[in-house]
Amino acid sequence: MPSVIILGRPNVGKSSLYNRLVHRKEAIVYDTPDSHVTRDIREGSAKLSDLRFKVFDSAGLETSEEGETVLARTTGLTATFLRTCHAALFLIDGRAGVSPLDKEAVMWFRKLNLNLPVVLVVNKAEKITGDHQIMANIAESYSLGLGDPVPVSAETGEGLADLFQRLQPILDAAKEKLVDEEEEEEKSLGGQKPLRLAIAGRTNVGKSTVINSLLRKERVLTGPEPGLTRDAITIDFEFNKKPVRLVDTAGWIQRSQLEEGPMALSAMLARRSLMTAHVVAIVLDAQEIAQSKMTLRNSEAALARWVTDEGRALIIVVNKMDVLKGQKNADLRKKLMEAVPKEIQLTLPQVLGVPIIFVSALKGRGRSTIMKLAFEAYDKWCTRVSTPRLNRWLHKVLARHPKRKDEKRAKPRYITQVKARPPTFVLFVAGFYSLEDHELRFISNAIREDFNMGGIPVRVIQRTKKELEGV
């Protein structure tokens, strides 16, 4: 999916435009002349008419105080992040006009020499007809040398149709480029698309050691220092003559825990890397589990839920089992291996049957099993079930599900799979009433169990007579 970053000095309305594009209130916005609230880079899924793209809300650009302020440090992060984007929206304030900082920010952008398409957006330009000051400010914006400006109001939505017209050809070209790159990648690998496997988890649980074990050589820096891997690292290799693309992400950090500076960018890039993966292996620390008697910390549970919400296949790798070696730890090791699956199923009911493997990456134990589970998870993720088979299954599963004596209750009649990766089904329901949430969960869990999709996010969308008739 193409990605667009919103640039500009502080308080020109970047977060307001971001919120408008993602159709929700996420970034904090204060309408005061000197305030600036966004300090890290926020990411969302944007919708502009029929355009779909990832949008990033950057911190305000402040280029003159290098290394002195949070904003100056974040400017450096924005420069790094720009290299991963396909287009930029450069915002100025239509009420205030072109400021010296706007000009300085444009010079900063040009020095990066990125060859990145830029659309100049004049924000806060609501009801411009008859407003001579705003019209004069729009005319002045040509002096920035970024082409024809697009006047908009992020607050009211005015001008978004014009923004769509400017962005559409840019993003269409970006989509074509992404498809070409994917085809080139497939061609270079002899027609086989690689399994994209992301290794994720908190800092210092041994993710890089797991990758080195899979590769059977030292490719990623490892050590006892927390957070040694700060960037997402991509490595191509073959396993049993099958191409694999491994991604070692920086330690997962919840949004509420994001630090300013490099860690904020690392967390954002980690999320982007995970979104390109087919299968995500979350690495846990066996020693920490044994000491804390808690399998998943809040951040790890949040990561697992995020992975499944994004529709990726999931496996769990419990690393550092060598720490529990020896006869004296035999009982502890046994209890841990029994308790971990139970606790994970309680914590993650939306992915019942998630595969779990206990390994020692440092000793090279479990390498083949990790890859075997990853390929199995990928195959499940790509599963397609024929419509006749699905409907035979539906009649059987409804027969064993207790019925309520209620004439108004929703009655499932027909089911079909509309896509894979992840498996997505449409369930047609007779009558004007919808199935309740627990009934939909029953259907999705039954699909997961009966069609061997453990650890795979299964999506069931219901369609009622009311929806089909457009009532």
Tell me the average confidence (pLDDT) per consecutive run of 10 residues in the chain, 471 residues long. 88 89 58 42 80 80 49 57 86 92 88 89 84 89 94 92 94 85 61 84 85 70 42 73 80 47 54 82 93 87 89 95 88 92 89 92 91 96 95 89 62 92 92 82 92 92 70 41
Type of residue at 445? N
Residues 169 and 239 in one domain: no
* Spatial separation of the C-alpha atoms in residues 14 and 18, rounded to whole Å: 6
Q: What's residue 399's pLDDT? A: 82
Residues 160 and 60 in one domain: yes
Q: What's residue 38's pLDDT? A: 41
**Exposed e or buried b per residue across 165-193, where buried means at least 16 C-beta atoms within 10 angstroms of its C-beta:** ebbeebbeebbeeeeeeeeeeeeeeeeee
Residue with tokens 């027969």: 399
Residues 309 and 412 in one domain: no
**Which tens digits make up the pLDDT trace of 26-61?**
443 334 344 444 445 677 788 898 888 988 887 666
Residues 109 and 7 in one domain: yes
Which phi and psi angles does 338 have, rounded to 5°? -85, -35
Residues 237 and 356 in one domain: yes
Residues 426 and 321 in one domain: no
User: Residue 449: exposed, middle, or buried by beta-carbon count in 10 A (0-12, 13-18, 19+)?
Assistant: middle
Strands 87-93 and 3-7, sheet pairing = parallel
Give domain status of residue 188, yes or no: no
Q: What's residue 468's pLDDT? A: 54
Q: Of 130, 146, 181, which residue constitutes the final position of a domain?
A: 181
Residues 71 and 172 in one domain: yes
Give domain status of residue 232, yes or no: yes
Q: What's residue 254's pLDDT? A: 47
Residues 207 and 313 in one domain: yes
Q: What's residue 325's pLDDT? A: 86
Give domain status of residue 189, yes or no: no
448 near 458, Cβ under 8 Å? yes
CATH number for 335? 3.40.50.300
CATH number for 434? 3.30.300.20
Number of domains in the chain: 3
Residues 285 and 230 in one domain: yes
Range(s) of the domain holding residue 171: 3-181
Which secondary-structure segment (H or E) carries 443? helix 437-450
Residues 316 and 397 in one domain: no
Q: What's residue 337's pLDDT? A: 93
Q: What is the CA radius of gyration of the chain?
A: 26
Residues 89 and 57 in one domain: yes
* Spatial separation of the C-alpha atoms in residues 119 and 100, rounded to whole Å: 19
Residues 168 and 209 in one domain: no
**Which tens digits make up the pLDDT trace of 69-118?**
434 544 565 676 787 789 999 999 999 999 998 998 898 888 888 889 99
